[in-house]
Chain A
Amino acid sequence: MDRDRVTVPEGTASGPGRLLVAVYGIFALAASARAGVQIALRFDEAPVAYLLSAFAAAVYILATVALARPGALSRTLAWAACGVELAGVVVVGAVSLALPAAFPEPTVWSAFGQGYGFVPLVLPVLGLLWLRRTAGHAPAVRV
């Protein structure tokens, strides 16, 4: 992996990816802080929603780090994180609208991320597209 780092300066973190990682970072920060406050202060009120917030936060952190770092393992983890995130926002978004009682407290993914300007819905799609676009520049091909 160190060899890749030296021979392939551009990975998923440079160019437009720089912006993608920045937005992911902001969401990682926002989701972690929100989950932290919810779990620390009011966990009993809505444990499912708050655990989901924590899970979403973990996925955002993983996606941020995996997109920011070079290497095949990071790329695989980024695929997984963006995929889980897209599935999460679609499933939780649908359930939160169909069964509002299941999520009495809002999470990042409630109503397809409406509370965050639908960015949580758009972000994983952009992430997956970016991973596909940069796949041709993967170390194995370029070196």
Chain B
Amino acid sequence: MIDGLTIGLIAASLLIAVFSVVTAVRNRPMSMVHVGLLALLEIGLLVQAGVGVATVLGGDGPEASATFVGYLIGAAVIPIAAGFWGFVERSRWGPAVIAVACFVVPVLIGRLEQMWTGTA
């Protein structure tokens, strides 16, 4: 979609996922560092959603526009939901939630990219 942003979002998300796995393995709860990283990821995902929705509204989006917008919104909602759900858990399972969420986000971005380029 926007090549730099797409790659950046996937890389950032995977980075947060690995960081969260390390936190969980070290048996630590989520910290403000996780929250900060998730917030940065969220800003990028919101930019992606904004650009994507604007493109669809402008008529230049992919054919499956409803699904496309669904994935855009889904990708933006998951880090927020996971952040809240993980933060209230004061054990290693908090960062574990963040790790799963941050492995799911790249999958969604991958599907978005497939729809965008018309390979799926």
Residues of A near any B CB (own CB < 8 A): 14-19, 21-23, 25-26, 29-30, 33, 36-37, 40-41
Q: Give the shortest distance, in Å, between A80 (CB) and chain B (any CB).
A: 23
In B26-78, the 8 Å CB interface with A consists of: 66-67, 70, 74, 77-78
Q: Would you call A30 and B74 a contact (CB within 8 A)?
A: yes
A23 to B98, CA, bound (A): 11
Partner of B74, one of A21, A29, A40, A41: A29
What are 24 A-to-B residue pairs whose CB atoms are below 8 Å? A14-B89, A15-B89, A15-B91, A15-B93, A16-B93, A18-B91, A18-B93, A18-B94, A18-B96, A18-B97, A19-B96, A21-B85, A22-B85, A22-B101, A23-B100, A25-B85, A26-B78, A26-B101, A26-B104, A29-B78, A33-B74, A37-B66, A37-B70, A41-B66
Number of A-B contacts defined by CB within 8 Å: 46
Q: Would you call A18 and B66 a contact (CB within 8 A)?
A: no
Q: Give the shortest distance, in Å, between B22 (CB) and chain A (any CB).
A: 16
Q: Would you call B86 and A22 a contact (CB within 8 A)?
A: yes
Question: A68: nearest residue on chain B (CB-CB)?
Answer: B85
Query: B7 in the interface, Cβ–Cβ < 8 Å?
Result: no
Chain A residues with Cβ below 8 Å from B96 are 18-19
Question: A36: nearest residue on chain B (CB-CB)?
Answer: B70
A19 to B100, CA, bound (A): 8
Chain A residues with Cβ below 8 Å from B85 are 18, 21-22, 25
A22 to B83, CA, bound (A): 10
Chain B residues with Cβ below 8 Å from A37 are 66-67, 70
Query: B82 in the interface, Cβ–Cβ < 8 Å?
Result: yes
| Most A CB within 10 A of own CB, among B81, B82, B97 | B97
Q: Would you call B91 and A22 a contact (CB within 8 A)?
A: no
Chain A residues with Cβ below 8 Å from B82 are 22
A79 to B118, CA, bound (A): 41
Q: Would you call A25 and B81 a contact (CB within 8 A)?
A: yes
10 smallest CB-CB distances across A and B, nearest first, come from: A18-B93, A22-B97, A18-B89, A33-B70, A19-B96, A37-B66, A19-B93, A37-B67, A15-B93, A19-B97
Chain A residues with Cβ below 8 Å from B74 are 29-30, 33
Chain B residues with Cβ below 8 Å from A41 are 66
Q: Would you call A26 and B100 a contact (CB within 8 A)?
A: yes
A103 to B94, CA, bound (A): 38
